[in-house]
Amino acid sequence: MKRKLEASELIFKIISYTLLTVFALGCLYPFVYAVSASISGRHAVDYGEVVLFPKDVQFDAFRRMFNDNMFWNSYSNTLFLTVYGTVWALGVAILGAYALSKKRLLFRKFFNFYLVFTMWFSAGIVPQYLNYLATKKVFNGIGIMDDKWLVVIAMGMAAMNIILLRNAFENVPSEIEEAAIVDGATEFGVLSKVFIPMSKSTIATVALFFAISRWNGYFWARQMISNAHEHPLQVFIRLTLEDYTNSETMAGWNEVYASDSVIYALIVCSIVPILIIYPFIQKYFAKGTNAGGVKE
Amino acid sequence: MRDKGADFLIFDQASGTYRESPEQMVRDDVEKHYWLHVGRTILKDWRLYLMLLPTILVFLFWRYLPMYELLGAFKVGDQVKSVSEQYFAGFSYFKTLLVGGGTGGLSMEFWRALRNTFLLSFYGLCFGFPMPIILALFFNEVRSNIARSVYQVLTYLPKFMSTVVMTSLVMMLVKQGSLTSGAGIVSRFLARIGLISEEMANAGLLNNPSFFRGIYQISGIWETAGYDSIVFFAAIIAISPTSYEAAQIDGAGKMAQMRYVVLPSILSTIVIMLIMRIGSLLNIGYEKVLLLYNNNTYVTADVVSTFAQRYGLAGAQKGIASAAEMMNNVVGMLLVIGANTVARKASNVSLY
């Protein structure tokens, strides 16, 4: 009896480790290949001699990227959108969630439904597009010519994030709030001195969600930002790739790097910053999925 | 505004009849001056309502006003004019899309898009949904914390790419061969082991409609399986070790432990996730399809939102495009609400 039990367990363990290793390496491989291909020599990349490790190492593809003003421009635009977009969306969401977490708020049910309905039904791409166009006209009318502000203000709000914050605020014990009120705190004081410090980790998670969606935002930024100098990184990557697909060449005939290497270098450049901060944000991300969505 | 208690009437000794109690008079007063009361409450708590105002406005301007533009689905006229200035066309766009007539090809394309939307989600349900569960079971077998963290970090990693970077990488890995360079590394590998022919690899897998769904699902698993396993893994590590011990004493092998200890414990999580997934069958993200498809692969790749994007934004048939997406989104909404209701009934857990 004992022997058989150990055998079945052992077999399952071996299978688990094997398949996990295969899957994990499979997840990793495209990144490793992208790095290798971006720093390998022209002939090696063009003729498919790079499989895992780089061959005939060169850094000219990266140098080309770093010498491209549009690349740095798009990076700074993405930073702009991420920082201001997150601050704006988080600010609006915290204030709204605080008000919604109060039982004494009149028409509370209606306001909750007002948010939740947008998660069920969206008007779709075309109406959204017409709406953003109209907004853009209004913004231009009052003197905001930089379309990045349109992206910051009008896009990226998510009802789900407000609801996550609201749930966190509802879990703050009311005794602490009452004590603060007795001490003479105003509504805003209660929010900033009691509620925000007590829900720090949820706020960090929600801020992360906003920041990620801003960093990754592509479609509407491309539709709405007309000046190429204002394009964020994602749009720049895609336009470069489309350029390459259409012309089939990226590198001049006398360069030491292959056309593919330029694209891979660009991909690597856009992933590296995320990899650097990844260890710090991972725990908030994991927390987000557990809290995300499911509410008792 | 009659209260539950029977205190709205009191017996008047003097006249021997019932009359309204003072409490009820106050209530009646509040009822009569309901809006006054509302106004007073809001005024007293004005800071709270001021805090709510930005949220209300943001959602009004950029979530609800677009819904007004949906009227375009019922109207014809100069596309440059605003919706309110156009003429009513009734359901003609819907008719064109559903049963054809007029421009006949549109109806065919719409049904194809609807079918593709459903199929992409459905295959995601069949292949993409079980993967995180299997991964979570495997993670549970890794006893060393360090080794498990390494596995988890590696499998979560793809989730942190943007859709653009992910699709760019996919496009490069299966790209077509040209005069100056060979096909993508994955295509070449598949050709080498004989799964596809050399010609297919050189023509580019993303130019071939029969590979689109496979690429879509595999890249989806690559991107999300690790990250989605978090929720299942959390359910598995919540199982008390004593349950396993009890099963072992009863002589349960590994498979029996899986069957009688692990599965029942995570079943509710699986059911909820499954119901939610079914609820969002028609809400397929358009960005990934838009970035991966091209005019060679419309047959299998075109979904309703990319159909709407093509005709409404790239083309100029805004009415048709609005109508198509509206039908998709209304049915999608009903599915979401249905799924949510079922989940709430099943387990007292709801998404909203």
Helical segments of chain A, H only: 2-38, 42-46, 60-66, 69-100, 108-120, 125-141, 147-154, 159-170, 174-182, 187-190, 196-198, 200-216, 219-224, 233-247, 259-291
In this structure, of A69-73, B88-92, B213-217, B279-283, the range with the lowest mean pLDDT score is: B88-92
pLDDT on residue A145: 86
pLDDT at A290 over 70: no
pLDDT in tens, A255-268: 888 888 999 999 99
ipTM of the complex: 0.89
Domain ranges within chain B, ordered by starting residue? 114-159+208-347
Among candidates B204, B180, B179, which has minimal Cα distance to B190? B204
Question: How big is the A-B interface in CB pairs under 8 Å?
Answer: 274
Total count of domains within chain A? 1
The rounded distance, in Å, linking the Cα atoms of A14 and A58 is 41
Domain of A224?
Answer: 5-291
pLDDT on residue A293: 41
Write the CA distances from B13 to B5, B6, B8, B17, B97, integer angstroms: 21, 17, 16, 7, 75
pTM, full prediction: 0.86
Between residues A4 and A10, which one has the greater pLDDT? A10
Confidence category of residue B91, pLDDT binned at 50, 70, 90: confident
Confidence category of residue A296, pLDDT binned at 50, 70, 90: very low
Confidence category of residue B350, pLDDT binned at 50, 70, 90: low
Contact A267 B169 (CB under 8 A): yes
Q: By three-state DSSP, how is residue B187 classified?
A: helix
Find the CB nearest B168 among A37, A248, A263: A263
Distance from CA of B270 to the nearest CA of A (A): 12
Topology given in CATH for the domain delimited by B114-159+208-347: MetI-like fold (1.10.3720)
Two tokens, residue B261: 């200890």
pLDDT at B5 over 70: no
pLDDT at B151 over 80: yes
Q: Could you tell me the maximum CA-CA distance found in chain B, to the nearest angstrom? A: 109
pLDDT on residue A80: 96
Map tokens 């100098």 to a residue: A229
Assigned domain for A296 exists: no
Contact B160 A278 (CB under 8 A): yes
Contact A267 B172 (CB under 8 A): yes
Percent of chain B with pLDDT over 70: 91
Contact B138 A16 (CB under 8 A): yes
pLDDT at B249 over 70: yes
The CATH number of residue A149's host domain is: 1.10.3720.10
Two tokens, residue A168: 């966190």
Confidence category of residue B284, pLDDT binned at 50, 70, 90: confident
First to last CA, chain A: 43
The rounded distance, in Å, linking the Cα atoms of A290 and A65 is 39
Contact B51 A98 (CB under 8 A): yes
Residue B24, Cβ neighbours under 10 Å: how many?
Answer: 17
Please name every residue paired with B19 in a beta bridge, in sequence order, or none if there are none. Answer: B10
Give B58-84 as a DSSP string.
HHIIIIIHHHHHGGGGGEES-TTS-GG
Percent of chain B with pLDDT over 90: 27
Nearest-Cα residue of chain B relative to residue A95: B51
Which residues of B fall within a CB distance of 8 Å from A9? 253-254
